Amino acid sequence: MRPEKTTALCVDIQNLEYAWTNGERALSVRHFTIQQGERLFLQGPSGSGKSTLLGVIAGVFAPTSGEATVLGNPFHAMPAAARDRVRADAMGVVFQQFNLVPYLNLVENVLLPCRFSRRRAERVGPSESARINKAQELLSRLGLDDEAQANRPAAELSVGQQQRVAAARALIGSPSLIIADEPTSALDAETRDTFIETLLSEARNAAVLFVSHDASLSRHFDRLVAMENINFTQDQHVLSIPEDALSPAEA
């Protein structure tokens, strides 16, 4: 059974600004939060700042100004190495590019978080065999249970298969926050729904931040947030953020 959400915040963003090196402002987010255990769907078209916001929350980008507190850590005041450690220990991230190691097989890619984080490894199990079994279980639940396929290097997989391996890698080791950036873009409708159900089932106690341009997927989540309602990169918009910017997902 899924635990109830708490009032504690997993992500707390206040007066956040992020600009590219050429000075172009990509983010201007006055207020954005995610509760512990919440499943949040972030929707917006290409170029709306979704991936940039995820990069800040994942600790890949440092804010230009403002505050980004993630899992109790003030990312806005932490060096890159410290943010990297939080991400390795406590986050599962599915990036659009997947970032699989092309010459490693499926199980080896899934187990990478356990190589980089002792905490993740200990949460999976006390032995290497227990971790391998968990990796195989996750892959099986995501439809990658062919033994011959499991020994293939990631470079030989289809785009859809690579997405599912990246999701299994994000889930292993019980992270506190799972971030998924357009993880179903290469999946057909049936596989997509199974993928989302498995992701949310395996997330258990974790908060989930799921990003997509397809608002129809929001039915799987607790809350829908539209980027246009939180990201105001034009000065005239900053003064008129609607009170209902964070709206419940439609049933």
CA distances from 92 to 54, 84, 174 (A): 12, 12, 8
Residue 6 — very low, low, confident or very high, per pLDDT cuts 50/70/90?
A: low
Work out the number of other CB atoms within 10 angstroms of the CB of residue 122. Answer: 12
Q: List the helix and strand counts (H, then E) for the chain.
A: 10, 10
Q: How far apart are CA 239 and CA 247, in angstroms?
A: 19
End-to-end CA distance of the chain: 20
Give the percent of the chain with pLDDT over 90: 65
How high is the pLDDT of residue 242?
Answer: 37
- 78 three-class SS: coil
Enter the tokens of residue 186.
């290469």
How high is the pLDDT of residue 145?
Answer: 84
Helix (H) or strand (E) holding 9, with range, is: strand 9-19
Q: How far apart are CA 72 and CA 251, in angstroms?
A: 31
Q: What is the DSSP string of 220-240?
A: GSSEEEEGGGTB--SHHHHTT
DSSP state of 79: -
Pick from 198, 187, 181: nearest CA to 140: 198
Contact 32, 225 (CB under 8 A): yes
pLDDT digits (tens, 9 = 90+) for 177-210: 999 998 887 778 888 888 898 889 888 889 999 9
How high is the pLDDT of residue 47?
Answer: 86
Highest mean pLDDT among 74-83, 182-191, 235-244: 74-83
Record the pTM: 0.86
pLDDT digits (tens, 9 = 90+) for 112-147: 999 999 999 999 999 999 999 999 999 998 888 877
Enumerate the β-bridge partners of residue 178: 92, 208
Amino acid in position 217: L
Higher pLDDT among residues 12 and 46, named by residue: 12
pLDDT digits (tens, 9 = 90+) for 21-45: 888 999 999 999 999 999 999 998 8
Mean pLDDT taken over the chain: 88
Contact 52, 13 (CB under 8 A): no
How high is the pLDDT of residue 132?
Answer: 94
Enter the tokens of residue 193.
């729904």
| Long-range contacts from 19-25, C-beta under 8 angstroms, 24+ separation | 19/64, 25/233
CA distances from 83 to 56, 61, 131 (A): 10, 9, 25
DSSP state of 217: G
61-70, 155-164, 231-240, range with the lowest pLDDT: 231-240
> Quick one: CATH architecture of 9-248?
3-Layer(aba) Sandwich (3.40)
Highest mean pLDDT among 13-17, 185-189, 202-206, 243-247: 13-17
How high is the pLDDT of residue 235?
Answer: 47
